[in-house]
Amino acid sequence: MPNLYEPSGKQRIQSIDILRGVIMLIMALDHTRDFFHIAGVNSDPTNMATTTPILFFTRWITHFCAPNFVFLSGMSAYLAGTRRTKSELSDFLIKRGLWLVFVEVVILTFAFSLNPFYNFILLQVLWVIGLSMVILGLLVRMPLKVIAIIGILIFFGHDILDYLQLPKTGTEATLLKLFFVARGSVLPLNQTHFIFDLYALIPWTGVMLLGYVFGSLYKSSFDAQRRRKILLYSGMAALAFFVIFRYFNIYGDPQPWSVQRNGVFTFLSFLNVSKYPPSLMYLCMTIGTGLVVLSLTEHIQNKLTAIFIVYGNVPFFYYVLHFYIIRAVNIIVFFVQGYGANQIVDPTHQSPFLFQPPHFGFNLGGVYLVWLFVIASLYFPCRWFSRYKKTHKQWWLSYL
């Protein structure tokens, strides 16, 4: 997520900031639902047997966040490279990638769990962005075509693993989970400490590599009209690929859709693609939409896009801060609803997160109100930090 500027280093690319701002706002809805929906963090809103249409779409709309987040990070890396030598870019990506892994393990794990003993370490989107940056940092000296080929092979080919008999136990199984097939995998470190891995590294690395390749469309020498056409046609092709392959259940998702109890739920089943790990169908549906948005918003300027840009200018700042705001509100609501200190730790041990007792929270209406409060409370801090970054040149700002 380095800052996205034109090669001059002065003019930001507003369509990228618009898309990224929309992603940030929608993403907060998912995390608000995690902590405030009365069904609890362990519920599955995409389970066709128990979900409702509005609950399903509350979760489904947030599917568009992580893949476009990672894809735009790859674009950012390319644009950052227009102001650096290949060696400088490699060093920057490796250092910033390791920094993001540190933030994930130390700062965000604590935000999620509020457990100072770190009995449960979460590996989510920042860890795959960070390690994908490290991998990209090792590859940037290669020709762009080579990076494109590697990205395409991973993007379209990683679902082949769904058809293979893979090890279930041992070191091989652990490595496969970390790198290829994590589906909310719990990996024990010892009897009291565990890693909870939601994001398999390699499939997401393929997304970042393709984002890096698409970043080349934003070179100052590249024709803007041609760029918009490439983005639009690529996005439409990805969406068409999704519809055709998904309809016939040909390839690209381990969870085929099926006829449900009525037409609405059958449609939901069609859309219910796999995020953990990200299937080809999931990536085509989400990134295809993102490419179309990038194409269509390149020259749109109004009050709404100006709001999106405020959030899109400072994604890392927003991402870290919004978790702590959500958890601060969580603690306040916990005591307001009458829970006591003896319930800070879940007595049923179903949740590793503190301040998350069974049946805590609100219905979906309450979740949406909390979400609106969270994103509104972040507007002015994000605007201030965006202005600060534009008027200050300290080296550490490139890591935030």
> What is the H or E stretch that residue 121 is in?
strand 120-123
pLDDT of residue 63: 97
pLDDT of residue 2: 41
pLDDT of 142-172, one tens digit each? 999 999 999 999 999 999 998 888 888 888 9
CA atoms of 48 and 45, how far apart (whole Å): 8
Angle (deg, nearest 10), helices 14-36 and 303-313 = 70
pLDDT of 71-107, one tens digit each? 999 999 999 999 899 999 999 999 999 999 999 999 9
CA atoms of 345 and 357, how far apart (whole Å): 7
pLDDT of residue 222: 94
CA atoms of 326 and 372, how far apart (whole Å): 11
Euclidean distance between the first and final Cα of the chain, in Å? 9
CA atoms of 224 and 68, how far apart (whole Å): 21
Which pairing describes strands 120-123 and 194-197: parallel, antiparallel, or unpaired?
Answer: parallel
- List of residues 6+ apart from 352 with CB closer than 8 A: 113, 115, 119, 120, 194, 196, 346
373: burial class by Cβ within 10 Å (0-12, 13-18, 19+)? Answer: middle
Which pairing describes strands 194-197 and 185-188: parallel, antiparallel, or unpaired?
Answer: antiparallel
CA atoms of 217 and 214, how far apart (whole Å): 6
**Full 3-state SS string of 324-389:** HHHHHHHHHHHHHCCCCHHHCCCCCCCCCCCCCCCCCCECHHHHHHHHHHHHHHHHHHHHHHHHHH
- List of residues 6+ apart from 202 with CB closer than 8 A: 154, 158, 179, 180
Task: Report, in angstroms and rounded to the nearest whole number, the Rg of the chain calculated over CA atoms.
Answer: 21
pLDDT of residue 42: 63
CA atoms of 17 and 14, how far apart (whole Å): 5
Residue 332: which of 352, 351, 360, 358 has the closest Cα?
Answer: 360
pLDDT of residue 109: 95
Query: Which whole-number Å values give the CA distances from 280 to 284, 338, 361, in the listed order?
Result: 6, 45, 34
Residue 212: which of 277, 149, 159 has the closest Cα?
Answer: 149
- Over its length of 400 residues, how does the chain's per-residue pLDDT go in tens digits? 444 333 334 457 899 999 999 999 999 999 999 999 998 666 789 999 999 999 999 999 999 999 999 999 999 999 999 989 999 999 999 999 999 999 999 999 999 999 999 998 999 999 999 999 999 999 999 999 999 999 999 999 999 998 888 888 888 988 999 999 988 888 889 988 999 999 999 999 999 999 999 999 999 899 999 999 999 999 999 999 999 999 999 999 999 999 999 999 999 999 999 999 999 999 999 999 999 999 999 989 999 999 999 999 999 999 999 999 999 999 999 999 999 999 999 877 667 889 989 889 999 999 999 999 999 999 999 999 999 998 888 878 877 7
pLDDT of residue 71: 98
Beta partners for 196?
122, 186
pLDDT of residue 351: 74
Asked if 41 and 34 touch (Cβ cutoff 8 Å), the reply is: yes
| Two structure tokens written together for 182 | 């994590």
CA atoms of 46 and 257, how far apart (whole Å): 12
Which 8-state DSSP code applies to residue 112?
A: H
Q: Dump the DSSP string for 147-210.
A: HHHHHHHHHHHGGGGGGS----SHHHHHHHIIIII-SSEEEESSSS-EEEE---HHHHHHHHHH
